[in-house]
Structures are given as structure tokens and as C-alpha cells.
Amino acid sequence: MIPCRVSKVEENGFIKITEGIDRKAVVYGKETLLCEFKLEKNAVIPMHEHPHEQTGFLVSGKVLFTIDGKEYEMKAGDTWCILGNVEHKAKVLENSFIIEVFSPVREEFINK
């Protein structure tokens, strides 16, 4: 195993997940994956759950999250941690940029 991974800033590498939602797997290790998300106003991430813990930071914009049945209107600078197997969804209220860490690594997000 390589003792470290380094990722340099670049614009390419984003994958369109659905209309208005782009994801980039920035760097990953043995236990964590760091992703960037570009979200367009009015985009929706439907209700879902996964076994991965999901910790995030809203760099810019505004997003309405529903986590375990409770709504949270998040603005730039806000953070969250969603435990594994907890239902959640999001509605993008303003163009937004998010950084999130997943643990364990979401193998399906890695661009191999």
C-alpha cells in the first residue's frame, strides 16, 4: 500500500450524477474518501441511505437536508455528520459547493 496519496487542484474529474449534481472523488485512503459536489439550484438528491458515515461542509450556497425525518436548512459554513444507514435527502436552494468525507470508502465513487 502506498503510504500517502496526494491530489492537486484541477477542474476535471467531475462526474454528472443526475441533472444539476456533479461529484468528484478527490482523494481516498484505507478508511476515508473525500469528495467535492457541485449542486445547481433546484436539484434534488432523493431519499436514500447507505452504510457509510457521511461528514460534510457546505463551502457555498444553501441546501435543505432532511435527515432521519428532520429538516435542516444549511448555509455556507455549516457542517453535518450523517451516520450510516440513516435515511437522508437534499433539495438545493442555491447553487452550492460541498466537500464530504465518507467512511468506509465508497468504492463505487472512485474513478479507477
DSSP string of 6-63, one letter each residue = -----STT-EEEETTEEEEEEEE-SS-EEEEEEE-TT-EEEEE--SSEEEEEEEEEEE
What does the pLDDT read at residue 63?
Answer: 98
Q: What is the CATH number of the domain that holds 96?
A: 2.60.120.10
Share the mean pLDDT of the chain: 92
Q: pLDDT, tens digit, for every residue of 48-86?
A: 999 999 999 999 999 999 999 999 999 999 999 999 999
Answer yes or no: is 51 within a domain: yes
pTM summary value: 0.89
- Residue 82 pairs in a beta bridge with 54
> How many CB atoms are located within 10 Å of the residue 74 CB?
20
Which residues lie closer than 8 Å to 108 by C-beta, 6 or more apart?
A: none
Answer yes or no: is 2 within a domain: no
Q: pLDDT, tens digit, for every residue of 6-52?
A: 666 666 789 899 999 999 999 999 999 999 999 999 999 999 999 99
